[in-house]
Amino acid sequence: MDDLVLNDKMKREAERLLAHIQRADSMIIAVKAGARADGFVLGMEVAGGLRAGDAERLYIVFETALEVRLKALSAV
């Protein structure tokens, strides 16, 4: 996430959302956290708070984290 252009408040929120995905203790909670993260990116993109490239990279960061977490939870 370091290569994204985010102001401090947006970066803190993105890191908080990412942490929620990474700490999810069930698949349902992980998917809900992923949906919140997607909503955050969509909202920032629509409001003009993110450049198009940064929005796409942020979507990928959240999606990758969700996939990793879901795989870890399914292995339990």
Residue 69 placed within a domain: yes
pTM of the model: 0.91
CB 21 within 8 A of CB 41: no
Residue 48 placed within a domain: yes
Residue 68 placed within a domain: yes
Residue 10 placed within a domain: no
pLDDT recorded at residue 76: 75
Domain that holds residue 47: 25-74
Tens of pLDDT, residue by residue, the chain (76 residues): 677 888 899 999 999 999 999 999 999 999 999 999 999 999 999 999 888 789 999 999 999 999 999 999 999 7
Domain count of the fold of the chain: 1
